């Protein structure tokens, strides 16, 4: 097995509300990085990170599980976490060992309860965060649904990948208070 120096290892936790398709995103990332030769699907129970029989049957991640891929000579350890509130402790454990958090948000539903909780947890741990807006191709999914109410006036903006920031420590739940 290839050995990586510490600067070339990143632990990244995929966090978000239940049903935001974190596991499917992890599967797609592994496939895109050529870590697996087949795109696993949650519906078919073929994802790398949901391997437990109970997880496959319920189509929900029940415990944090790791997977890794190499991207630009760096080993990315992905930690897929549960989005169900009952298993939130596993999510917190994953964030504690992560270098960064990928906060997955469903474009249909916007920021939900666990989205807010993981954002607060990541803020408490001072973790860098990337927000992934998922399922934008769904019929009712769209950035118009999920952007901040403060930004709603600018409906003609091109919503390609963009960045946002705040001078103070930003409250994601507030800034992503999206119309439901």
Partner 1 sequence: MTAITFGDDGRTVSIGEVSDELAAEADDRLMEQFFEASTLTQEELLVGLQAATAARRVFPLCVRRQRRTWVSSRF
Contact positions vs partner 1 (CB under 8 A)? 25, 28-29, 32, 71-72, 100, 107, 123, 126-138, 143, 148, 150-151, 154, 157-172, 174-175
Min dist CB 171 to partner 1, Å, is 7
Compute the least distance from the CB of residue 140 to partner 1, in Å: 13
What is the C-alpha to C-alpha distance for residues 180 and 178, in angstroms, rounded to an integer? 6
Q: Which is nearer to partner 1, 95 or 107 (CB)?
A: 107
Q: Tell me the angle at which helices 88-97 and 113-124 cross, rounded to the nearest 10 degrees.
A: 30
Tell the smallest beta-carbon distance from residue 16 to partner 1 (Å). Answer: 12
Measured from the CB atom, is 87 or 159 closer to partner 1? 159
The pair of structure tokens assigned to 59 is 């189509």
- Cβ proximity to partner 1: between 58 and 128 the closer is 128
CA–CA gap between residue 175 and residue 140 (Å, rounded): 21
SS3 29: helix
Least Cα distance to 146 among 104, 117, 114 occurs for 104
């Amino acid at each position: 097995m290839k050995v990586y120096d510490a600067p070339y290892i990143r632990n990244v936790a995929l966090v978000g509300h239940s049903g935001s398709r974190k596991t499917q995103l992890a599967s797609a990332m592994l496939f895109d990085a050529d870590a697996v030769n087949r795109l696993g699907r949650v519906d078919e129970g073929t994802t790398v990170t949901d391997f437990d029989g109970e997880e496959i049957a319920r189509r929900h991640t029940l415990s944090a599980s790791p997977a890794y891929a190499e991207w630009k000579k760096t080993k990315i350890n992905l930690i897929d976490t549960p989005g169900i509130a009952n298993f939130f402790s596993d999510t917190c454990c994953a964030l504690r060992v992560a270098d960064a958090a990928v906060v997955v948000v469903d474009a249909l539903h916007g920021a939900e309860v666990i989205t807010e909780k993981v954002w607060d947890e990541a803020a408490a741990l001072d973790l860098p965060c990337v927000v992934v807006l998922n399922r934008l191709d769904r019929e009712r999914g769209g950035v118009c649904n999920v952007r901040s109410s403060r930004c709603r006036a600018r409906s003609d903006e091109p919503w390609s990948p963009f960045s946002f920031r705040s001078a103070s420590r930003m409250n994601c739940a507030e800034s992503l208070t999206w119309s439901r």
